[in-house]
């Protein structure tokens, strides 16, 4: 307690005699013991100086606040301090035996003990287990404000402490490298397939990458690939081209990703060449995209024999954007769209020509709308009209909603903001990919164990071998009412499954009745762990892709080791964010048709995406195949 002869603002605290008399095996042991003793007595110590022979510790309130000495110091912060010029001081000296001794130099404080130790950072210091838990949660993309509760440090640490721990861990991992250099090194030293392209200045221009799990999934399910770009994922404003496939259980999976600095034919061609180089597919997939002319041209340049379909939903929305203004009454435009859908659902070419002629005659009073259909829709009729698309095995994928959904499910759900660097975006995508692959494996394992009672004796040989998603499609064919129209073969062409006519004649289905797309055999999904073998395979693929093997290999190997010179991409200008939008949200901006429809900001039906009703009152019925 304070001595009666001491000044009123001084408080003398007696040191623990055991601590003073003990010898410590090392300097760190002495410092840790001194700090622990100080915390027990409601104050904290910090180092003044330290060398091989001694260490000096002071009270954290020792010293004075340093004021700004500039006469005209503008914008000075409203600062504060805990300094009280406390004289308390302790030392530690190394003895001849090599042990360290604690020496109390000044045991007087000029301040009261702390009411609560958490008022000082040392009082909120976490142990290694807690720090590791925080780092693990951060790597799982848990937000810092949620980490406080989940790591068991609520009431012990403030949010700034969590940010500091995360920042310290990031600096340790980067080890002097920039985030882009760390990312490029990580891609080169793991089983990820990556292909960067740099500007002459050293700035990253494009970056294609795919994870080992995604590569195996794509090789297994290569029938249909949906491609589309998403925006607002990084501070460089690079569009992210996203490739998505379809699994045997009917779910979507992310196949590959490509950051591009532009959305032109040259950039898309490079991305598709990277896709071809990565997967080396035995069969050319069916591509489904929106009506992006640069991407379409790149597909035909890279895959001359590829089947290509356009998203029906985007086609209809383009019509809305360009034709709705021609109609004074909303009812007239609604009827126009119904009649256009009749044209799109034409079952044969002759009927298509007849329906299109009827449409042009019925709406001759609206020449702008009719001319738009003739000049823009007729040239691409093979990609959107049923009588042509029904002959393509697209597994029921006539819209790009799968890739639109994956933009959120596999990317933006895991992104904290749209202003992070490429490393942060990559971390989010990688975690999403790992979870997606795990979910698929669990779903397949569950399917193999379940015996669905709705599938009778006719399905006995294929149950637990063919996905229930595919069996349900066949079951729906068996439930079609009689009399049935003549068989067109469209259902089998689209899905690779027996149609109602074949299903009725078969006593018991066999594996041969089903396309390999729907089989639950997933042995090919074993991920390689031998890095050397993976690299050899990768180089062989490069050699096979290039006309000149030596040139092809050299062009790819020149990137190895260059990550130390990699620079961040230049900020790209694209259509993903309007001028003046400065928020960090990853939510997409409104499309042109939404402004035309006047539906911006209105809640939508979860079944048909319309407005003015919800999924319970929706009357939308999907067109049968």
Say if 456 falls within a structural domain.
Answer: yes
Q: Rg for the chain (alpha carbons), in Å? A: 34
Q: Which two tokens stand for residue 223?
A: 């029938």
Q: Identify the DSSP state of 190.
A: S
Q: Which two tokens stand for residue 541?
A: 């693929």
Please give the residue range of the domain that contains residue 501.
451-525
Which of 119, 135, 156 is where one domain is finished?
119
User: Residue 198 — left, alpha, or beta (φ > 0 → left; ψ -120 to 50 → alpha)?
Assistant: beta
Q: Are residues 9 and 82 in the same domain?
A: yes
Q: Which residues pair with 207 in a beta bridge?
A: 196, 259
Tell which residue, 162, 20, 3, 216, has the closest CA to residue 103. 20
Alpha helices in 121-264 (DSSP H): 128-139, 144-150, 159-174, 179-188, 212-220
Tell which residue, 429, 426, 397, has the closest CA to residue 226. 397
Predicted local distance difference test score (pLDDT) of residue 281: 86
Q: Which residues of 595-617 are buried (b: 16+ CB within 10 A; e: fewer)?
A: ebbebeeeeebebeeebeeeeee
Which of 119, 153, 188 is where one domain is finished?
119
Tell which residue, 541, 64, 587, has the closest CA to residue 275. 541
Tell which residue, 160, 128, 155, has the closest CA to residue 144. 160
- Give the pairing of strands 193-198 and 54-59: unpaired
Instruction: Using alpha carbons only, give the angle 412, 414, 419 rounded to the nearest 5 degrees.
Output: 65
Residues 6+ apart with CB under 8 A from 98: none
Q: Which residues of 85-119 are buried (b: 16+ CB within 10 A; e: fewer)?
A: ebbbbbbbebeeeeebbbeeeeebbbbeebeebee
Q: Are residues 476 and 500 in contact, defined by beta-carbon separation less than 8 angstroms?
A: no
Predicted local distance difference test score (pLDDT) of residue 448: 92
Q: Are residues 263 and 292 in contact, defined by beta-carbon separation less than 8 angstroms?
A: yes
Note every long-range contact of 368-376, with CB atoms under 8 Å and residues 24 or more positions apart, other chains counting.
Answer: 368/323, 368/326, 369/323, 369/326, 369/327, 369/336, 372/319, 372/322, 372/323, 373/319, 373/323, 373/340, 376/318, 376/322
Residue 492 Cα distances to 45, 258, 515, 610, angstroms: 78, 34, 9, 31
Say if 355 falls within a structural domain.
Answer: no
Q: Are residues 45 and 78 in the same domain?
A: yes
Say if 216 falls within a structural domain.
Answer: no
Q: Are residues 14 and 100 in the same domain?
A: yes
Q: Are residues 520 and 487 in the same domain?
A: yes
Say if 326 falls within a structural domain.
Answer: no
Predicted local distance difference test score (pLDDT) of residue 276: 94
Q: Are residues 471 and 507 in the same domain?
A: yes
Task: Split the chain (625 residues) into runs of 10 and give each run's mean pLDDT.
Answer: 47 63 90 90 92 94 78 68 90 93 87 87 88 92 88 84 93 92 88 91 94 93 95 93 96 96 96 94 92 95 94 93 90 94 94 96 94 95 95 93 90 87 94 94 93 92 95 94 89 95 93 94 52 54 54 53 73 57 56 52 65 72 50
Alpha helices in 390-421 (DSSP H): 401-407
Q: Are residues 75 and 150 in the same domain?
A: no
Which of 506, 525, 544 is where one domain is finished?
525
Q: Are residues 132 and 149 in the same domain?
A: yes
Q: Are residues 110 and 142 in the same domain?
A: no
Q: Are residues 459 and 540 in the same domain?
A: no
Predicted local distance difference test score (pLDDT) of residue 340: 96
Say if 348 falls within a structural domain.
Answer: no
- What is the distance of C-alpha 255 from the center of its chain? 12
For the chain, the domain total comes to 4
Predicted local distance difference test score (pLDDT) of residue 125: 86
Tell which residue, 116, 110, 58, 123, has the closest CA to residue 89. 58
Q: Are residues 65 and 165 in the same domain?
A: no
Q: Are residues 473 and 540 in the same domain?
A: no
Say if 477 falls within a structural domain.
Answer: yes
* Residue carrying structure tokens 């910090």: 46
Say if 518 falls within a structural domain.
Answer: yes
Name the CA dihedral angle for 316, 312, 269, 420, rounded to a multiple of 10 degrees. 80
d(CA 98, CA 107): 26
Q: Are residues 62 and 111 in the same domain?
A: yes
d(CA 141, CA 87): 45
Q: Which residues pair with 209 in a beta bridge?
A: 194, 257
């Amino acid at each position: 307690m304070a001595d009666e002869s001491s000044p009123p603002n001084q408080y003398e605290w007696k040191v623990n005699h055991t601590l003073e008399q003990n010898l410590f095996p090392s300097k760190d042991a002495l410092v840790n013991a001194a700090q622990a003793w100080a915390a027990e007595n409601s104050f904290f110590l910090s180092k003044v100086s330290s060398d091989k022979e001694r260490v000096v510790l002071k009270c954290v309130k020792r010293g004075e606040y340093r004021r700004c000495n500039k006469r005209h110091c503008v914008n000075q912060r409203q600062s504060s301090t805990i300094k009280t010029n406390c004289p308390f001081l302790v030392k530690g000296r190394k003895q001849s035996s090599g042990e360290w001794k604690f020496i109390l130099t000044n045991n007087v404080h000029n301040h009261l003990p702390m009411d609560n130790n958490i008022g000082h950072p040392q009082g909120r210091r976490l142990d290694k287990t807690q720090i590791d838990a925080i780092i693990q949660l951060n790597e799982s993309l848990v937000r810092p404000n949620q980490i406080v509760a989940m790591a068991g440090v609520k009431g012990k640490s403030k949010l700034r402490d969590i940010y500091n721990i995360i920042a310290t861990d990031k600096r340790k991992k980067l080890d002097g490298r920039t985030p882009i250099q760390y990312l490029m090194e990580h891609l080169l030293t793991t089983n990820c397939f990556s292909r960067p392209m740099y500007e002459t200045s050293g700035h990253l221009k494009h970056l294609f990458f795919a994870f080992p799990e995604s590569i195996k999934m794509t090789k297994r399910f290569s029938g249909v690939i949906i491609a589309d770009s998403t925006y607002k994922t990084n501070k460089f404003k690079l569009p992210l081209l996203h490739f998505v496939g379809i699994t045997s259980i009917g779910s979507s999976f992310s196949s590959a990703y490509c950051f591009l600095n532009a959305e032109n034919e040259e950039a898309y061609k490079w991305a598709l060449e990277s896709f071809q180089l990565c997967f080396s597919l035995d069969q050319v997939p069916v591509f489904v995209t929106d009506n992006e002319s640069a991407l379409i041209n790149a597909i035909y340049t890279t895959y001359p024999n590829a089947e290509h379909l356009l998203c029906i939903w985007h086609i209809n929305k383009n019509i809305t954007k360009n034709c709705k203004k021609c109609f004074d009454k909303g009812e007239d435009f609604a009827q126009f769209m119904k009649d256009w859908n009749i044209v799109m659902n034409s079952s044969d070419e002759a009927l298509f020509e007849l329906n299109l002629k009827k449409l042009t005659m019925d709406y001759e009073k609206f020449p702008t709308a009719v001319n738009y259909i003739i000049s823009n829709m007729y040239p691409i009729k093979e990609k959107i009209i049923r009588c042509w698309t029904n002959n393509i095995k697209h597994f029921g994928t006539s819209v790009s909603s799968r890739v639109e959904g994956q933009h959120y499910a596999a990317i933006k759900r895991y992104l904290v903001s749209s202003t992070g660097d490429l490393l942060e975006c990559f971390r989010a995508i990688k975690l999403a990919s790992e979870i997606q692959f795990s979910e698929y494996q669990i779903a397949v394992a569950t399917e193999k164990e379940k015996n669905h009672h709705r599938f009778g004796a006719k399905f006995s040989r294929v149950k637990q071998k063919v996905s229930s998603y595919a069996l349900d499609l066949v079951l729906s064919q068996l439930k079609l009412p009689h009399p049935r129209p003549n068989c067109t073969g469209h259902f089998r062409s689209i899905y690779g499954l027996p149609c109602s006519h074949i299903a009725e004649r078969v006593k018991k289905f066999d594996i041969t009745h089903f396309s390999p797309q729907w089989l639950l055999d997933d042995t090919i999904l074993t991920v390689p762990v031998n890095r050397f073998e993976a690299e050899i395979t990768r180089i062989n693929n490069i050699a096979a892709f290039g006309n000149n093997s030596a040139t092809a290999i050299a062009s790819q190997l020149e990137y190895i080791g260059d990550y130390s010179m990699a620079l961040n991409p230049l900020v790209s200008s694209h259509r993903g964010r309007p001028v003046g939008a400065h928020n960090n949200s990853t939510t997409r901006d409104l499309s042109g048709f939404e402004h035309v429809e006047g539906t911006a900001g209105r809640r939508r039906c979860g079944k048909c995406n319309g407005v003015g009703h919800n999924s319970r009152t929706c009357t939308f019925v999907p067109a049968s195949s």
